[in-house]
Amino acid sequence: MRVGFGYDVHPLILGRKLILGGEVIPCQKGLDGHSDADVLIHSLIDALLGAAGEGDIGQHFPDNHEQYKDISSLKLLKKTYEILKRKEFAINNIDVSVVLEEPRIAPFINGMRNNIAQVLKISFKEINIKATTNERMGFIGRGEGVASYCVVSIDSCIK
């Protein structure tokens, strides 16, 4: 068994959609970034790449390449899944914590889990997503950004 950890953070700005786990969340602000800035998916990608010994999201999907401008992070997750399949890894489970003050994202979590399950071809039950606040402390607490932490475990399909 191998374990990977991922982290991502993006600032919130006016004029962008807030996309988390591939779900569009109603909000006045969205996450700023080169792609769709989905911090949840970005932390998941980093965790998967780390577990597979494949570096990080910036090495595979550089934020200065035009081909990734405004791309759906679910498409990047699909490419990450293809890397894992080539290396013959299977995903055991995923655990994500999203940190933001608002909006409340609990009503959207099952949709996020479904999106991830479809892309990674795993059971919805193998994916856990939690949301918490930063208790109004720091830039996240002031509503200036969103962070996401992710842990995954994978196994080799080769016995």
Using one digit for the tens of pLDDT, what is the confidence trace for 56-96?
999 999 888 787 787 899 999 999 999 999 999 999 999 99
Predicted TM-score (pTM) of the model is 0.96
The pLDDT value recorded for residue 159 is: 58
State the pLDDT confidence band at 142, using cuts at 50, 70 and 90: very high
| Amino acid of residue 19 | I
pLDDT average, residue stretch 38-48: 98
The pLDDT value recorded for residue 129 is: 99
State the pLDDT confidence band at 125, using cuts at 50, 70 and 90: very high
User: What is the spatial distance between Cα 44 and Cα 116, in angstroms, rounded to a whole number?
Assistant: 10
Sign of CA dihedral 94, 100, 104, 105: negative
Q: Is 64 exposed, middle or buried (0-12, 13-18, 19+ CB in 10 A)?
A: exposed
Q: What is the CATH number of the domain that holds 133?
A: 3.30.1330.50
Average pLDDT taken over every residue of the chain: 95
Residue range(s) defining the domain that contains residue 140 = 2-156
> Residue 119 CB: number of other CB atoms within 10 A?
20
User: What is the spatial distance between Cα 48 and Cα 57, in angstroms, rounded to a whole number?
Assistant: 10
What is the total count of domains within the chain?
1
